[in-house]
Structure 1
C-alpha cells in the first residue's frame, strides 16, 4: 500500500507536473493545494503520511507549516521542494525534523527516491544541495575517529541501517550501535535520531 500524500505549490505548472507524475507512478495522492493555508488545512483534515510542500507559498511557507506540525505533534512527514540552496534554510529545515529537501530542478528525478527513503523513516536531502553547501575543510573531529568508525559512517551516509552495516562489516548489531555511540561522543553531536546521518551525509567527501 502506497503512502498517502498531499502536495502544495503556488506555481500551477509545477503543481500539475508533480501531481501528474506521482499519479502516473501510482502514488496515493489525496489532494493538492496552491497556498500554505490550504496545505495546512489538508494536513489537518487528511493526516497524510507525507506532505510535499513548496517552501515559498502565500499565507504560510513550507517551513511555517512544518513548525506548526511539529508543535501539534502531527505524524505527517514533510518533504520540501524548492529552488533555494540556502544554508540557513537547510539548517532550519533540519531543526524542524523535516524529512526531505529536494531541489525543484531535480524534483522529478529525485522525488521517487525521496519518498521511498521517507517511507522507510530515513530522511532524504538532495545530494546536489549537500554538495553545494559542502564545507571544503574536513571537521577537526574526524581525526579522532578510528578506520572502523569511518567505515561505519560511510555506510550511514549511504542510508544503511545498523543491521545492514553489521552484515556488511561482519559485526553484530550491538557492536554497530556501540560504534555509533562512540562516534556521537567524539563528534560532540546532539543525541537526536538523525544527527549522525546528517553529519555523515554533509561530510561524505571527507570519509575517504
Structure 2
C-alpha cells in the first residue's frame, strides 16, 4: 500500500477528480473533506503521512491548517493546491514548512511527482509558480560561502542525503550538519525545516 493521504477541497469536482486520480495510482486515500475544519479533524484522527489541501476553504484555510500542524509538531506533510500565484502566500507557505505547492491547473500532471518528492522529504513547488513569481535569491549570497559549503549545496541539489554527502566528502554526518547550519545563517534563511532544500531548488542554476 502506498503513502497514506487525506485530501480536502471545497470544490466537489476538483475533490472527486483528485480522489479518483490518487486511487487509480494506488495511493492510500484515507478520507476527504470539503472544508478546513473537517480536514484538520481528519489529520488529527488519521495522522496521515501527507495532507493535500486547497488553500482557500471555509472555516480554516490550507495555510491555517499548516500553521496548526506546525504548532502541534504533527508529522503530516502538507501539500497545498491552489489557483493562487501570490508571492505573499508562497512565502507564508515556505515559512510554515509546507512541503508542496501545486497549481490546480497542473495538479493532475504534477501531483504524483510532488508526492514522490515529498515522501523523500524533498519540497516540491510548482515550476510554473516559481517561474511566474520569478523567484530568485540574490546570487551574491553565494559569495559568502566557502568552497566546501558550495560543494555541499551542489550535492544537496543532486538530492544527496547528509549521510551520502559525508561519504562523498569523507567527513562525518555531524560535520555535514554543522556546515549546513553555517550555510543557512550565511544565506539568511528562516530556521525552519526544509528552508535550505527549498533555497537550493530555487537557485539550482547558480550552483551548476
TM norm structure 1: 0.86
Partner residue, 1:74: 74
Partner residue, 1:108: 108
- 1:134 is displaced (CA, Å) by 3.0
Partner residue, 1:5: 5
8 Å CA contact 2:97, 2:195 repeated in 1: no
Mark the CA change 1:136 to 1:116 in structure 2 (over 3 Å): closer, same or farther. Answer: closer
8 Å CA contact 1:184, 1:191 repeated in 2: yes
Mark the CA change 1:181 to 1:48 in structure 2 (over 3 Å): closer, same or farther. Answer: closer
- The number of residues matched between the two structures is 207
- 1:166 is displaced (CA, Å) by 4.6
Q: Distance in 1 between matches of 2:38 and 2:136?
A: 41
Report the more deviating stretch, 20-29 or 85-94: 85-94
- 1:30 is displaced (CA, Å) by 0.8
Q: Distance in 2 between matches of 1:135 and 1:90?
A: 10
Report the more deviating stretch, 178-187 or 106-115: 178-187
2:24 pairs with 1:24: yes
Q: Distance in 1 between matches of 2:97 and 2:189?
A: 16
- 1:82 is displaced (CA, Å) by 0.8
8 Å CA contact 1:134, 1:202 repeated in 2: no
* Equivalent position SS for 1:180: helix
* Equivalent position SS for 1:53: strand
Report the more deviating stretch, 194-203 or 83-92: 194-203
Mark the CA change 1:161 to 1:134 in structure 2 (over 3 Å): closer, same or farther. Answer: farther
8 Å CA contact 1:21, 1:108 repeated in 2: yes
- 1:143 is displaced (CA, Å) by 1.8
Partner residue, 1:57: 57
Instruction: Report the RMSD for the aligned CA atoms in angstroms.
Output: 2.3
2:119 pairs with 1:94: no
Partner residue, 1:121: 121
